[in-house]
Amino acid sequence: MASTQVSQIVKAPCAAVYRACLDPEMIVRWRVPDIMAGAIHSFDAREGGGYRMSLTYRDDDHPVGGKTSAHTDSFHGRFLELIPDTKIVETVRFETNAPDLRAPMTLTTSFREVDGGTEVTILCENLPPGVRAEDNELGTRQSLKKLAALFA
């Protein structure tokens, strides 16, 4: 299965960036590709806890259909490991009937102090076969730019 990895420098301390990755109000502002809007339905930020989130295409005529419905990707996440200011490991599974999109993927978000802020790296492993690596990488890159903009 495919993997992607994207990094971004955020001009803020590791602790602040880590908190933004576990705050549902912040997540819907940054963890969303440019062509979508986000909604958090439930959120429990602890090891073993989880969340449910939906991403909806802003343009009804977008040529790529959603994974859950015509315009929406809904998914469940489960937090496997939370190391404050250092790392978040989670699994994500799309709500779909499509067999090529049902496999869980693992997201590891790492935080490393660098000159001028924090380097945030998101590693997406075991992408389901129906998720194109280049689309995943583009969406992750767009999301991380939004995260950096929150602290600019």
Alpha carbons 118 and 105: distance in angstroms, whole number: 25
pTM of the model: 0.91
Residue type, 140: T
- Per-residue model confidence (pLDDT) at position 57: 79
DSSP per residue over 81-135, as a string?
EEETTTEEEEEEEE--S-GGG-S-EEEEEEEEEETTEEEEEEEEEEE-TTS-HHH
Query: Digits of tens for pLDDT over the chain (152 positions)?
Result: 799 999 999 999 999 999 999 999 999 999 988 888 899 999 999 999 999 999 887 776 555 555 656 567 889 999 999 999 999 999 999 888 888 888 999 999 999 999 999 999 999 999 999 899 998 999 999 999 999 999 99
**Domain range annotation of the chain:** 2-150
What residues does 124 pair with on adjacent strands? Answer: 4, 107
What residues does 146 pair with on adjacent strands? Answer: none
Q: Does domain 2-150 have CATH number 3.40.50.300?
A: no
